[in-house]
Chain A
Amino acid sequence: MTVTDQRSMLDLLNGFVGQLRDAGLPVSLTENLDAMEAVRHIPIEDRDAFKYALGATMIKNQAHWRSFETVFEVYFSLRGPEYALTQSSDGDSELDDLWREMQEASQQGDGRGGAGSLDALTPEEIAHLLMQALMQGDQALMKALARQAVQRFAGMEPGRPVGGTYYLYRTLRNLDLDGMLAKMMEAAAQQSTGPNTGLEQRLEREEFEHRITEFKAEVEAEIRRRLVADRGVEAMAKTLRKPLPEDVEFMHASRDEMVSLRKALQPLTRKLAARLARKRKHGRRGPLDFRNTVRHSLSYGGVPAEPKFKYPRPAKPELMVVADISGSVAAFARFTLMLVYAISNQFSKVRSFVFIDGIDEVTDYFKATEDITEAIHRVNTEADVVWVDGHSDYGHAFEVFWERYGKDVGPKTTVLLLGDARNNYHASQSWVIKEIRSKARHVYWLNPEPRSYWNTGDSIVGEYGAHTDGVYECRNLRQLEGFVEKLA
């Protein structure tokens, strides 16, 4: 590499690291230096190897990989011919083509692609071609069709201030992929010669679904590339930035984000449980353990050279979770319950109650099955939580809770109250919380709303909060995890 090459490489990487940090990915200085060192050994033409080299040196957490990939794709997608990351070795200069295509598109403004023969096809023919490509799993054709579909159906115009999702929606609406799946299954059934068992069909369907997902991802990437070409890398990096799973807000999570949240929850609970168990074990030293000391003194000829101590075993807290599961905060309650039950062996006993305007105990749902997801599902469908109109009424719910279960609250009990305390202007009955606190070990309130919204409108978290040992903001997994660790 010549000196100028190295300089431009340095600038390029620095810009990339800047983008990564903006996206919330921590990249330390040494990792940056490692990456610099790494790219010297990797031919920059090999885009995949280049990506893995940067990933291996800069990204040290699997949950961050997807964010990294997006930033990488955006940042390196259009760097002009001097940075063209093409696979020129095998003659497949797809990205080069793309680059030229983009240039053309932006110059002429009519978005004519280089896909040549595909231009002449009617929408029906495209749909037919796509179905064939999907059925045969023809990657190259799928890619070309994705490009063609975006160009034709998305209706992208330079400088139009709409997000990528809008274009994605427009493209996919025209392709009718759901109908496609049914048609593909039908065609496959006709073609198949072997025995057509249910299992075989299921596998077939999954294969097709998998390919359709791949195709969707390709369409999405294509749209992103075009948007980047239109608006520039910096602007796009900003709009495409996705929060890391642990930073996604419970109250505003989209469906995809919910899925990634649920995935993130599992390793998190495992880690949390391991950490808590360890914490319990490695507590302070207690008083001298006489028996153990004498036993060990035998190896020193009866001299107690190595004093042994009793380790205190702190009592595990008993937990009562009282959760609002009305629409706005349902997701939050669900995640908290999942988390609490996943580490339930850290507590001597866990009881859970859910309410909207009526309250119901759901402990048995969790006892009956090992599968937390199924229990949560039963909570949502079977629990008797509606009293009058199905609008949150904290006051009534608390009152009933006190009446029915108040006697079970004891000095070992920690009570967790979950909800946004938006009481729809009903009576607060905050005396219940005061009573609970006088009997219980601790009472905490977890609120999924941002702190700045508290006590605005019909939120009366302040009134309840005054009688608790603390109100905590739990907008995302990170905050929830922090709280639970403190609790156990």
Chain B
Amino acid sequence: MAAELVQRFESVQQVREGLRELDYLADDGIAGVAYLADRLGKPILVEGPAGTGKTQLAKSIAELTGARLVRLQCYEGLDESKALFEWNYKKQLLRIQADKNSDSWNEIHDDIFSEEFLLTRPLLEAITADDPVVLLIDEVDRVEVETEALLLEILSDYQVSIPELGTIEAKQIPLVFLTSNNTRELSEALKRRCLYLHVDYPSMEREREIVLAKVPGITDALADQIARIVRSIRSLDLKKSPSVSETLDWARTLLLLNIETIDEQTAKETLHILLKYQTDIAKAAKELSVDE
């Protein structure tokens, strides 16, 4: 039983507009790749600096398609029993003890390794679900190289092999997002199975639109100024450039403080919202106050 490939989107245009209505402003690349992933039935590997909306993309796509989001947060030490499936030992034990005398061993053996005693973990859950789902495998660069192999079967064939039970194939092909902060090179095998999408800091125009969309009540002029200052700060050589979420925090702060135009003084006083390292703050403050 091979799963049918459902087509969720009509066109790239539709994806972009749909996302826009959800206040996720996609650029050409993002919408195009999401559309392609749907058509080709392939997972998307989203890479980029922290705080540029990688996880949000998966959430917004789930919302757009009306699907449930199944999330697997990766961490060092993640293993099969947390990602794929686990046998419900307690229930198995109970089953054996419940009718100790009646059943023959063979029957029990066959019985306790059936789906009834299987605990599904995110990956298995995503492919066995009856309702539409979007699978998000978050921060995949945190697992060890060896653990990546766990993902390969599900990513290329949408199936999970369970030694005692056989192969479970997907009832539907979910949209799969993998995100990575690029702290290490992912294996070739994993990359080959995915479409690659790099999400970078947005252009100034897009950032301004994001601020306008996400921070209600902000004026055009202030949003414009925020976007320009953030771009200026990003062009400095910093330890950690301000992310989009930090830009939004800053915008909200300025709004709360009833500031209409940013001058040097306000900028310097509120820099700690954008930047999190003392050296970065000092550097940016110095740069912004250069009077020529």
Contact = CB atoms under 8 A, between A and B. Distances in A.
A206 B45 contact: no
B17 to A, nearest CB: 15
A59 B196 CA distance: 7
B147 to A, nearest CB: 12
Contact of A371 (B45, B185, B228, B283): B283
A62 B201 CA distance: 13
A340 B116 CA distance: 55
A484 interface: no
A42 B183 contact: no
B267 A199 contact: yes
A210 B227 CA distance: 14
B36 A56 contact: yes
B66 interface: no
A199 B32 contact: no
Contacts of A370: 239, 277, 279
A55 interface: yes
A46 B292 CA distance: 45
B228 A207 contact: yes
Interface residues of A, number: 43
B36 A53 contact: yes
A11 interface: no
B47 A199 contact: no
A383 B283 CA distance: 23
Contacts of B33: 52-53, 56
A373 B184 contact: no
A427 interface: no
Interface in A195-245: 195, 197-199, 201-203, 206-207, 210
A31 interface: yes
Contacts of B130: none
B40 interface: yes
Interface stretch (B83-91, B168-176, B206-214, B230-238): B230-238
Nearest to B47: A62
Nearest to B194: A60
Contacts of A55: 29, 196
A201 B232 contact: no
Interface in A30-65: 30-31, 34, 37-38, 41-42, 46, 48-49, 52-53, 55-57, 59-62, 65
B292 A38 contact: no
Contacts of B28: 48-49, 52
A267 interface: yes
B283 A42 contact: no
Interface in B67-89: none
A65 B225 contact: no
Interface residues of B, number: 50
A291 interface: no
Given A56-B195, A203-B225, A34 B42 contact: yes
Given A62-B198, A202-B290, A31 B192 contact: yes
A52 B29 contact: yes
Interface in A261-300: 267, 270-271, 274-275, 278, 282
B273 interface: no
A136 interface: no
A93 interface: no
Contacts of B235: 206
A88 interface: no
B192 A56 contact: no
Given A202-B292, A203-B225, A271-B185, A65 B198 contact: yes
A42 B288 contact: no
B289 A38 contact: no
A345 interface: no
Interface string B167-205: 000000000000000111100100110111110100010
A31 B191 CA distance: 10
Contact of A49 (B12, B42, B239, B288): B12
A6 interface: no
Contact of A201 (B35, B225, B239, B292): B292
B288 A202 contact: yes
Contacts of B272: none
Nearest to A371: B279
B240 to A, nearest CB: 11
A199 B279 contact: no
Q: Which secondary structure dominates chain A's binding surface?
A: helix
A206 B290 CA distance: 13
B107 interface: no
Interface string A331-359: 00000000000000000000000000000
Interface in B123-148: 144
Given A34-B40, A42-B32, A206-B232, A198 B185 contact: no
A199 B144 contact: no
A30 B195 contact: no
Interface in B248-292: 261-264, 267, 277, 279, 283, 288-292
A14 interface: no
Interface string B147-171: 0000000000000000000000000
B231 A206 contact: yes
A263 B196 CA distance: 20
A28 interface: yes
A264 to B, nearest CB: 12
A197 B264 contact: yes
Residue among B36, B231, B290 with the highest chain A CB neighbour number at 10 A = B36
Nearest to A194: B261
Contact of A203 (B183, B185, B232): B232
Contacts of A56: 29, 32-33, 36, 44, 195-197
Contact of A60 (B35, B196, B279): B196
A278 B144 contact: yes
Contacts of B225: 203
Given A34-B40, A203-B225, A198 B290 contact: yes
B39 interface: yes
B108 interface: no
A267 B291 CA distance: 33
Given A48-B28, A206-B235, A370-B239, 5 more contacts: A57-B196, A194-B261, A198-B292, A271-B182, A271-B183
25 contacts: A30-B192, A34-B195, A37-B40, A38-B36, A38-B40, A41-B39, A52-B28, A56-B32, A56-B196, A56-B197, A60-B191, A60-B194, A62-B47, A198-B290, A198-B291, A199-B262, A199-B288, A206-B231, A206-B232, A270-B183, A271-B184, A271-B185, A278-B144, A370-B277, A371-B283
Interface of A: 28, 30-31, 34, 37-38, 41-42, 46, 48-49, 52-53, 55-57, 59-62, 65, 194-195, 197-199, 201-203, 206-207, 210, 267, 270-271, 274-275, 278, 282, 369-371, 373
Interface of B: 12, 28-29, 32-33, 35-36, 39-40, 42, 44-45, 47-48, 144, 182-185, 188, 191-192, 194-198, 200, 204, 225, 228-229, 231-232, 235, 237, 239, 261-264, 267, 277, 279, 283, 288-292
